[in-house]
Amino acid sequence: MLTFLLIFHIAMGTIGIISGFCVIAIKKGSALHKRIGRVFFITMFFMGLSGCLVAWVKHIPLSMLNGGLVCYLVLSAFMAMRRNTAALIKLSKGLFVFGLLLVTGYSSYFYFALGASSTLNGGFGPSAFAVFGLITVYALGEDLCYLLSNRVSKRFMLIRHLWRMLFPLFMASAAVFLGQAKHFPDLLVKNGVLIIPVAFVLLCLFYWVGKTWIQKRTSGALS
């Protein structure tokens, strides 16, 4: 079962990363962008879910929580570009509760890691749990604004969509190119080539979020 989950996880991650880079390159808002974006969403969701299960079996708490974080981010990013309906609001509330559970998990392992060896936490220290926990708290803050507001701007929803799609791609790229560097040729590792795709995704995240933020405020709101 674990072998199947690993193969499935690797397959979903590979397709997710490839489709993610394609989405970055394709004209935003085009029909092709939307189609490949759906592929990215589906594969990243199942990558996160399978990664969560694999990490649970192998007792790696940070990877387990991060798998849940990927699912939470891509699902909420996909929903951010949909018109509000009663079902969508209900699902958003459910995701908010799930996000709270993630924060609880990050916080618990953070405090545990403060007084324990990193080997007991899958090799990760408290700072790793703190970083991803704070990112989740920020995402929950956005969700709270969305749930408590009768009308939210299109720019707010677009930024919410952008960073929640690109950050999981950054996480997946870092996990593959940096976390699994030992499986790549030594020449690529020594020359620092493997950091290029990871840095590229991060730069794209800041570029698109920044560009959207400074653009003239769009008229109207999603309702």
How many CA atoms lie less than 13 Å away from 61 in the CB half-sphere? Answer: 23
* CB contact at 8 A, 72 and 44: no
Q: What is the pTM of this model?
A: 0.89
What pLDDT, in 10s, does the model give residues 101-126?
999 999 999 998 887 766 667 778 89
Q: Is residue 89 part of a domain?
A: yes
72 pLDDT tier (thresholds 50, 70, 90): very high
Q: Tell me the backbone φ, ψ of residue 17, rounded to 5 degrees.
A: -65, -45
> What is the span of the domain harbouring residue 52?
2-214
Q: What is the pLDDT of residue 160?
A: 93
Report percent pLDDT > 90 for the chain.
65
pLDDT of residue 220: 42
Q: What is the largest CA-CA distance in the chain?
A: 55
Task: List, for residues 130-178, the tens digit of each pLDDT value.
Answer: 999 999 999 999 999 999 987 778 889 999 999 999 999 999 999 999 9
> Would residue 7 count as lying in a domain?
yes
Instruction: Return the CA Rg of the chain.
Output: 18
221 pairs with which residues across the strands?
153
pLDDT at site 86:
82
Q: How far apart are CA 135 and CA 179, in angstroms?
A: 20
Domain count along the chain: 1
77: which 2 tokens?
């990013």
Angle at 138 between CA 40 and CA 162, to 5 degrees: 30
Residue 59: is it exposed, middle or buried by C-beta count within 10 angstroms (0-12/13-18/19+)? exposed
Residue whose structure tokens are 């990558």: 47
Query: In the block, which residue shows the tokens 């993630």?
Result: 102
Q: Is residue 114 part of a domain?
A: yes
Whether residue 21 is contained in a domain is answered as: yes
Token reading at 29 = 């808002």
Question: In this structure, what token pair is assigned to residue 12?
Answer: 């979903």
Nearest Cα neighbor of 1 from 49, 67, 50 is: 50
Alpha-carbon distance of 97 to 143, in angstroms, equals 10
Q: Is residue 108 one of the residues assigned to a domain?
A: yes
Please state the φ and ψ torsions of residue 157, each to the nearest 5 degrees: -70, -35
> Does residue 128 belong to any structural domain of this protein?
yes
What span, in angstroms and rounded, lies between the C-alpha atoms of 23 and 35? 9
Indicate whether 209 belongs to any domain: yes
CA–CA separation, 110 vs 138, rounded Å? 17
* Banded model confidence at residue 27, pLDDT cuts 50, 70, 90: confident
Q: Is residue 33 a part of any domain in this protein?
A: yes
The closest alpha carbon to 71, from 178, 203, 167, belongs to 167
